Amino acid sequence: MGLVKEGVEGELTEELTVFGKIPVFIPRVDQPRKVVLVTGGSRGIGAAISLEFARHGYNVVIADIVRDQEAEKTLEAIKNLGVEAYFVEMDVSKSESVSKGISEALRLAGRIDVLVNNAGITRDTYLERMKDEDWDSVLNVNLKGAFLCSKAIFPIMKRNGGGVIINISSIVGLLGNIAQANYAASKAGLIGLTKTLAKELAPYGIRVVAIAPGFAKTRMALAVPSPILQEYLRRIPIARLVEPEEIAKLAYHVVENEALTGIVIPIDLGTTIASPLA
């Protein structure tokens, strides 16, 4: 009878005994798949991140405000990669909704190893035209949402002995931008939140990193008037939009590289060195 059983994965090694070295087959013990929770994971950058983690064997929980056709399409694409896909309804701007959503995600998936705070909105206009509700809605989703989700996930990751929180910020949070006072403030706030939580949660094995994309090929960016977009592209070193898949690959790299925490990583085709938004 052979040491290696057909259909059983494992490692063939040697063990030193009183009879000398003998071959030993150590069967692999399957570990439960890790789980990533992505807010706003139904479309755009969030969908790309969800799919990237699925390609690497993660089960995926999409947390979004509504389970629409885009959500169903993304869930199906994740399942086609051979992993589990779950959806939880969540309004990240509301504490009760976040608490219920995180609890439901944990019930469905059994664990949460990575949180990606990706949900975001814009309400762009000049300062003199900006209404209180324009300011409040953007700050509540983009910044308060990340705070609420991070707070809700902390006891889970603490109990697990660690985890990773990724905040999707923006180069607008680094550079500012005309007619985006609310959006810029929310994304700059995410950077401060990232650095603070990285210090505070490190003793629990939790890393926190911010990713700051430039203009990405999403509906949000493509809604920018063409003359403005073309002028932007003319002034940056690599004259194109960032692909959502490029941001997704960076997000996975952040999780894999255990030396990364408390930093902001621009992925912007050179926008920050060109400062085209000033």
Does residue 267 share a domain with residue 212? yes
- Catalytic option among 183, 204, 232, 252: 183
Does residue 155 share a domain with residue 225? yes
Backbone torsions φ then ψ of 179, nearest 5 degrees: 70, 20
Does residue 38 share a domain with residue 24? no
Instruction: Report the CATH number that the domain containing residue 102 is assigned in CATH.
Output: 3.40.50.720
pLDDT at 226: 81
Backbone torsions φ then ψ of 266, nearest 5 degrees: -70, 140
pLDDT at 232: 83
Does residue 7 share a domain with residue 93? no
pLDDT at 267: 97
Whole-prediction pTM = 0.87
Does residue 196 share a domain with residue 98? yes
pLDDT at 181: 97
pLDDT at 4: 47
Does residue 130 share a domain with residue 20? no
Contact assessment for residue 113 and residue 258, using Cβ atoms and an 8 Å cutoff: no
Name the residue range of residue 2's domain.
1-30
Does residue 14 share a domain with residue 41? no
pLDDT tens string 165-208: 999 999 999 999 899 999 999 999 999 999 999 999 999 999 99
What tokens does 218 get?
């999403």
User: Among 56, 105, 112, which residue's Cα sits nearest to residue 256?
Assistant: 56
The C-alpha atoms of residue 250 and residue 1 are separated, in whole angstroms, by 47
Does residue 208 share a domain with residue 89? yes
pLDDT at 5: 45
- Whether 183 is catalytic is yes
What tokens does 48 get?
């790309």
Residues of the chain with pLDDT below 70 are 1-30, 275-278
pLDDT at 223: 74
Task: Please list the alpha-helical segments (H only) found in 140-237.
Answer: 145-160, 171-175, 181-201, 219-222, 226-235
Contact assessment for residue 137 and residue 123, using Cβ atoms and an 8 Å cutoff: yes
Does residue 24 share a domain with residue 41? no
Contact assessment for residue 75 and residue 248, using Cβ atoms and an 8 Å cutoff: no
Does residue 240 share a domain with residue 198? yes
Domains identified in the chain, total number: 2
The C-alpha atoms of residue 226 and residue 176 are separated, in whole angstroms, by 20
pLDDT tens string 228-255: 788 888 888 998 899 999 999 999 999 9
Does residue 239 share a domain with residue 164? yes
Does residue 233 share a domain with residue 100? yes
pLDDT at 254: 99
Contact assessment for residue 108 and residue 88, using Cβ atoms and an 8 Å cutoff: yes
